[in-house]
Amino acid sequence: MDKHQKWMHQALALAEKGRGNTSPNPMVGAVLVKDSKVVGEGFHQKFGGPHAEVGAIAQAGESAKGAMLYVNLEPCSHEGKTPPCALKIINAGISEVFIGMIDPNPQVNSRGIRLLQDAGITVHVGLLEDEARQLNRGFIHTFEKKRPWITLKMAQTADGYIADVSGKSQWISSSVAREFVMNQRTQHDAIMVGMGTVFKDDPGLLPVNRDGFIPYRVVLDDILRIPSRLRLVSDEFRNRTVIVTTTDEKKQKIKQLIGSGVQIMHVPGDSFGWIDLPKAMGQLAEFGITSIYSEGGSQVAGSLIQQGLVDEIQLFVAPKALGEGISTFSGFMKSLDSAIQLEWEDVQMLGPDVLIRGRLA
């Protein structure tokens, strides 16, 4: 690893500290280096707060003049909730800037780079770009696809069932796999389930650490059936619950839920009368959710797969067999010639289970 990669890795690590608090803005870290020493560093701590570059420059003070800046995302060039970072960099007298990736936001998108170059600053773009894109894949995705990045997680037996014939699914996967899932919850803006999972498990959908970042809990509830006694609408984190529904007829129930802090999002129904998922995902992106971890059942999984709304698949396969049960995906039926194609990218062992990661081909 050369010195430039070393400092960019440090910027990426700083950016990670903002996870969960910056959406819909990106996670950004900045490191200022002079005479091979760090003279300033910063990261974007929360939405609407100072940007990473501003924090690094403030910490460096006069030492910023003539220093090299490492930042994982192109500095902004427009007036938003904060002044343009590109101008701050120019005014600080920074001589050279290393950038991980170009900002996909149309308001920036190379304008920040040109602003720096026009001021006589040497700019390098693409240092550890893959890592920079992975860090902010949800932010990037909302600009490119107009919807959040969606990771579909499913746990099944070796013969392809997510629950036995009675509907019992706890626990198909091992404690090691469940620990992995808990960590994934902190890597996404929201966790999503359907009403089948809500009725069956009364889930909390919370990470282990309740004192840190709490993701939104998105419930797909087309006709607003959720009982007020369930945890998602009654626990202390109910203000982090978003119910996506097609109905506005249950006015008293809607009023009670909103009054308790629950968010209600109305979306159109599809041709079958269920939630129009593409439109729902678009509205969730507008709401500020850039990444979703789907932990729903077979109907939710099948609908997301069939409509091409899955960006990553995490399939946990447990060394168990049921013979009969509830299939992993439901809601569609294909011939072998027209089967939906998946592409596996990584396989690893998690305790006794196999985790297969992939995507739609």
Residues annotated catalytic, as ranges: 53
Selection from 343, 18, 315 nearest residue 157 by Cα:
315
Is residue 215 within 8 Å of 290, Cβ to Cβ? no
Pairwise CA distance, residues 239 & 222, whole Å: 20
Strand ranges (E), the chain = 29-34, 37-43, 68-73, 96-101, 122-125, 149-157, 161-163, 190-194, 216-220, 241-245, 263-266, 291-294, 312-318, 326-327, 342-350, 353-360
Calculate the CA 247 to chain-centre distance. 27
Q: Are strands 312-318 and 353-360 parallel, antiparallel or unpaired?
A: antiparallel
DSSP H or E segment with residue 52: helix 52-60
The owner of tokens 């249950």 is 250
Selection from 349, 314, 343 nearest residue 151 by Cα:
314
> Degrees (nearest 5) of the Cα angle 122, 9, 355?
135
Phi, psi dihedrals of residue 28, rounded to the nearest 5°: -135, 135
Q: Are strands 161-163 and 353-360 parallel, antiparallel or unpaired?
A: unpaired
Selection from 133, 159, 176, 156 nearest residue 313 by Cα:
156
Structure tokens at 213: 């970042």
